[in-house]
Structure 1
Amino acid sequence: MAPSANSSGGSVPLLTTSIVGLKFYILVLILVAIVVTIILITVLCIRRNRTSKKSKMRRVKHSSGTIPLVSKEIVEVIKIEQVDGDESSRMKKQVECEIEESSSVSVESPSPSANIGWGRWYSLKELENATDGFAEGSVIGEGGYGIVYRGILQDGSIVAVKNLLNNKGQAEKEFKVEVEAIGKVRHKNLVGLVGYCAEGAKRMLVYEYVDNGNLEQWLHGDVGPVSPLTWDIRMKIAVGTAKGLAYLHEGLEPKVVHRDVKSSNILLDKKWHAKVSDFGLAKLLGSGKSYVTTRVMGTFGYVSPEYASTGMLNEGSDVYSFGILLMELVTGRSPIDYSRAPAEMNLVDWFKGMVASRRGEELVDPLIEIQPSPRSLKRALLVCLRCIDLDANKRPKMGQIVHMLEADDFPFRSELRTREKDPVPSQVDLFKKVPYPKRHVEPVNKASWR
């Protein structure tokens, strides 16, 4: 019995030690978890503070106050590919931030004395001095393709310097696209390209400075209970944008398809004149070509359905995007807004449904203090619907859109058109609900949008 007693008695301390040891390790794990949590919270707080500081530095003064900031993120580009093999029936959507592989021709770094006929050459040192060494306080915009700085040149002129991000040769590609697309373009509703810088791997573009932010900031930023964008100002912006795009489509050879028309690419001056900017995704369409096949690029919510599904790009794609932009101006809503009720998330679907229900007056942005006249509102709604027609061939040209938005004698029809109804509700069904302009618009005098 004694050995047995000694054996059982000796096992008690071992068992106690094991339990105590187990509790000790659990305590250590809890302490480690607490420390890690505290570190993560601290890092998040620091990042928020840095973001807040940057945002404060990026506020630009305006005669009527401060240009509003837009906190929401917008998916920059959508790419749709057909997946091979067993998954050939599925479509893969992914965010794509690379510009399509350009042709084999590349832009070489020119010497300071080089003149390529569309702007002057700036040295890297000149642009560093103009932007205070590319200081954060000079940043006026950022995107997937680069950072834009406000700069003051030696002669006192104010410019916007776009430093292209050199991701996988992306800077070289966009540099070439911008030069080809707008190097020699001069139009009051297009942002002018002043010059460039190409030193080593650096690629920078120097634009005229537009001092009142962009349309996205004024539509979707915090502007208070009443928007400074009155109905008349919004229509003025729409007409200016349409004139700029009409010049690209109909006033140049080869014609230019912008491919990324959206509110953040419409810059505004203090008199609310619109200037179309950011031609980094633009495509040139030579004479005799009705379209060009290319990788699908653009901004989610603005890309036309036929371009997204086929990759066939032409002026109609810009017209569709302009229609979405005009809807934004009318409603004050983003093309896609996941914070709204499911039936209102997609602007196009909600817009069509409201027009079909004869509730067009409810589409007007509630921040507009003085409501538009019924005739002016109807004109804008019908232009929107014609621009987003699912049949790209039935969409008006940009020159016709300028005429429709500007003409006081905009043609309306009081009678309803009788057409055979499609199995699926389409834009035709919407037009049956509302008097709308004649399909054939009078020839446009191009001088009106130059």
Structure 2
Amino acid sequence: MACSVHLLLLLLTSLLALFFNPTCVYGNDELRALLDLKSSLDPEGHFLSSWTMGGNPCDGSFEGVACNEKGQVANVSLQGKGLSGKLSPAIAGLKHLTGLYLHYNSLYGEIPREVANLTELSDLYLNVNHLSGEIPPEIGKMENLQVLQLCYNQLTGSIPTQLGDLKKLSVLALQSNLLGGAIPASLGDLGMLMRLDLSSNNLFGSIPIKLADLPSLQVLDVHNNTLSGNVPPALKRLEEGFVFEHNMGLCGVGFSSLKACTASDHVNLTRPEPYGAGVGGLSRDIPETANVKLPCNTTHCQNSSKSKQATSITVGIVLLTIAVSAIGILTFTVYRRRKQKLGSTFDISEGCLSTDQAKSIYRKNGSPLVSLEYSNGWDPLADSKNFSGDRQDMFQSFRFNLEEMESATQYFSELNLLGKSNFSATYKGVLRDGSVVAVKSISKTSCKSDEAEFLKGLNILTSLRNENLVRLRGFCCSRGRGECFLVYDFVSNGNLTRYLDVKEGDGEVLEWSTRVSIVKGIAKGIAYLHAYKANKPALVHQSISAEKVLIDQRYNPLLSDSGLYKLLTNDVVFSALKGSAAKGYLAPEYTTTGRFTEKSDVYAFGVLLFQILTGKQKITSAMRLAAESFKFPEFIDPNLRGKFFEYEAAKLARMALLCSHESPFERPSMEAIVQELGNCSSCL
């Protein structure tokens, strides 16, 4: 009897403990998992000192840890923290994790197979570390995974075919590892895949035709491998999104730099090319990535299946009983805690979106990419301002947040700094989807103080769409940092100054047809700015120069900083104009009128045209005189070694002289220039 009383008291005590401290049901397990994770990620204890045994992971004291409404750990965000340990199998204890962000660290060792137990995980970022070993095939069981970033590590082995089971995956980034084998045909089953980067590995075989048919695919990068065989023609629809250079064995029709295929190149595109040479009709070994199912003894397979079914049913009944009991106890306590704490857990948020919007997103998936900044003061992007309806929706589609900027640029690392000016700094960055961008940071003091004017300028920037303008991907303004960030596509070949003043044997010399094509592209970009369109006003650029002409991988010119002056204070704009004057781009009438017009842009274009023809940054009066009399050896770039068309050179020289005429009334419009350039044979 006494024993029964003791048991009853023990049971009552346990139940009371559950009611008044429900975190002990899952909280202690998660705390234990976090502390195990800390000891492996940060063995010296330098960076995660806030993770303590007596702490609460959900009260904001654990650096990089965020919880959902139920008090469960939903995110671990430790990118760029200098961690130098390993990823522990204990990570599996954080069963409600939706985001794991450990990129830009120095983690080593293998990826634990236990990570596959995180079935609610949508984002897995382990890129830019020193991880080794093979990719666990168990990752294929993570049915909610949307982004898998494993690039820039030292991973070996082949790409698991099981990754083809990740039906929600939109980004798969495996570039810059030591992966071998063939590209699994199963990746062609990823119907939501938008970006696949397998570049800079040791992959061989052909590109599976199923990849080319993926409906959402926008980028397929396989450059720097040893792939061979016929490239599926359907990949032509990706245009610049298909990157395949430095695969000597590839062939196909309609792709620049690819050879035409011969009979030996036509392999079965539904699966990767097998290993070995295959001589004399002998069968060749199939790589494990080729999705070939091994046969089994029928009786054995059936018996095994029945045995597994019986075991599964028994285990299922036991687990169901336990689960129902636990749910009954927890439901009431969790409900009470939510009622008490709803609205208090997420009050401290930072960012570039409205606080209401931030909370709704944060509660939905706990993503640290919406860990936002809000303090008192400057906030030109407050949601209540100036826009409504469709325009507001479009405007919102350009919004980034501060943590995305920090993550993309490795916290604005000097290693990623592309350049600085008096009012801005530009960093190279990598976004969540793996795309490379340039992030221009502009200080608050350089931006227009009138927020309505600033927003109007930003609205204009979002309306600019042309193949010869650098594309604006989005923007973010941070009150806490006192900065605004403009996010542009990264352009790989630098700016036009790279191709000027090239010394023999020291730099790339642009051939004649490329120069003419660049001139035409610049003209089309400026003409677009000057034209009035239904969705954009007529604009002048105001700061055209060789530095502002970027060159992409196909040598197309892209004008940068178009419309940027609409965001800047008059002092900053005037300072930039003084820089243009010093370099010879500023039209002479500005000194008397103080006004910048379309003809001012035309003048700068004329100077650019001279620079492209001569290959020099500084244009002398002697060069202009030589151009007037068509003395080609005296002004055409000697690096061309006479390889140019004289009639085109004469036409372009005449155009350069006319565009840079002292009188603005003598200069043609950009529209007329574009029409005239259409007659150049090298442009066609």
TM-score by length of 1: 0.58
Q: Which is greater in Rg?
A: 2
Contact 1:227 1:369 (C-alpha < 8 Å) held by counterparts? no
Match of 1:124 in 2: 402
Give the alignment of 1:270-309 within 5 angstroms: 270-279=553-562, 282=565, 298=577, 299-300=580-581, 301-309=584-592
Give 1:350 deviation, angstroms: 2.7
Give the alignment of 1:149-228 within 5 angstroms: 149-167=427-445, 169=447, 179-200=458-479, 201-220=482-501, 224=505, 227-228=508-509
1:359 to 631, 656, 661: 631
SS of alignment partner, residue 463 of structure 2 = coil
Distance 2:431 2:454 in 1: 21
Match of 1:255 in 2: 538
SS of alignment partner, residue 367 of structure 1 = helix
Change in Cα spacing, 1:220 to 1:163, as seen in structure 2 (3 Å) is farther
Task: Give the letter aligned to residue 497 of structure 2.
Answer: E
Distance 1:348 1:393 in 2: 23
Gaps of 5+ in 1: 1-61, 65-105, 285-293, 336-346, 411-447
Match of 2:280 in 1: none
Alpha-carbon deviations, 1:150-202, whole Å to 9, x = none? 11111112211111134455798996585244221111001111110111022
Distance 1:211 1:296 in 2: 28
Match of 1:230 in 2: 511
| CA RMSD, 1 decimal | 3.6
Change in Cα spacing, 1:124 to 1:408, as seen in structure 2 (3 Å) is closer
SS of alignment partner, residue 144 of structure 1 = coil
Match of 2:127 in 1: none
Task: Give the letter aligned to residue 186 of structure 1.
Answer: R
Match of 1:331 in 2: 614
Change in Cα spacing, 1:210 to 1:168, as seen in structure 2 (3 Å) is closer
Alpha-carbon deviations, 1:296-337, whole Å to 9, x = none? 8521210001123211221100000000000000011113xx
Give the alignment of 1:19-418 within 5 angstroms: 108-110=380-382, 115=392, 117-118=394-395, 119-167=397-445, 169=447, 179-200=458-479, 201-220=482-501, 224=505, 227-252=508-533, 253-279=536-562, 282=565, 298=577, 299-300=580-581, 301-335=584-618, 347=619, 349-408=621-680
Contact 2:461 2:563 (C-alpha < 8 Å) held by counterparts? no
Give 1:223 deviation, angstroms: 7.3
Distance 1:297 1:145 in 2: 9
Contact 2:607 2:660 (C-alpha < 8 Å) held by counterparts? yes
Alpha-carbon deviations, 1:111-169, whole Å to 9, x = none? 59994634421111111011111111112222222111111111112211111134455
Distance 1:349 1:167 in 2: 40
Change in Cα spacing, 1:126 to 1:193, as seen in structure 2 (3 Å) is same
Distance 2:522 2:680 in 1: 19
Report how many aligned residue pairs link the two structures: 292
Distance 2:556 2:400 in 1: 28
SS of alignment partner, residue 437 of structure 2 = strand
SS of alignment partner, residue 403 of structure 2 = helix
SS of alignment partner, residue 257 of structure 1 = coil
Contact 2:458 2:566 (C-alpha < 8 Å) held by counterparts? no
Change in Cα spacing, 1:388 to 1:249, as seen in structure 2 (3 Å) is same
Task: Give the letter aligned to residue 587 of structure 2.
Answer: S
Distance 1:267 1:175 in 2: 26
SS of alignment partner, residue 319 of structure 1 = helix
Distance 1:283 1:110 in 2: 19
Contact 1:256 1:282 (C-alpha < 8 Å) held by counterparts? no
Higher RCO (C-alpha under 8 Å, 6+ residues apart): 1
Contact 1:265 1:277 (C-alpha < 8 Å) held by counterparts? yes
Distance 1:363 1:128 in 2: 47
Distance 2:427 2:449 in 1: 16
Task: Give the letter aligned to residue 417 of structure 2.
Answer: V
SS of alignment partner, residue 224 of structure 1 = coil
Moved more, 363-372 or 309-318: 363-372
Give 1:349 deviation, angstroms: 2.3
Change in Cα spacing, 1:125 to 1:309, as seen in structure 2 (3 Å) is same
Distance 2:575 2:413 in 1: 34
Distance 1:319 1:190 in 2: 17
Percent identity between matched residues is 31
Moved more, 198-207 or 115-124: 115-124
Task: Give the letter aligned to residue 464 of structure 2.
Answer: V
Change in Cα spacing, 1:221 to 1:303, as seen in structure 2 (3 Å) is same
SS of alignment partner, residue 211 of structure 1 = coil
Distance 1:158 1:129 in 2: 12
SS of alignment partner, residue 389 of structure 1 = coil
Change in Cα spacing, 1:313 to 1:366, as seen in structure 2 (3 Å) is same
Contact 1:383 1:404 (C-alpha < 8 Å) held by counterparts? no
Contact 2:457 2:566 (C-alpha < 8 Å) held by counterparts? no
Alpha-carbon deviations, 1:277-304, whole Å to 9, x = none? 01365469xxxxxxxxx96852121000
Change in Cα spacing, 1:381 to 1:254, as seen in structure 2 (3 Å) is same
Contact 1:210 1:267 (C-alpha < 8 Å) held by counterparts? yes
Change in Cα spacing, 1:282 to 1:361, as seen in structure 2 (3 Å) is farther
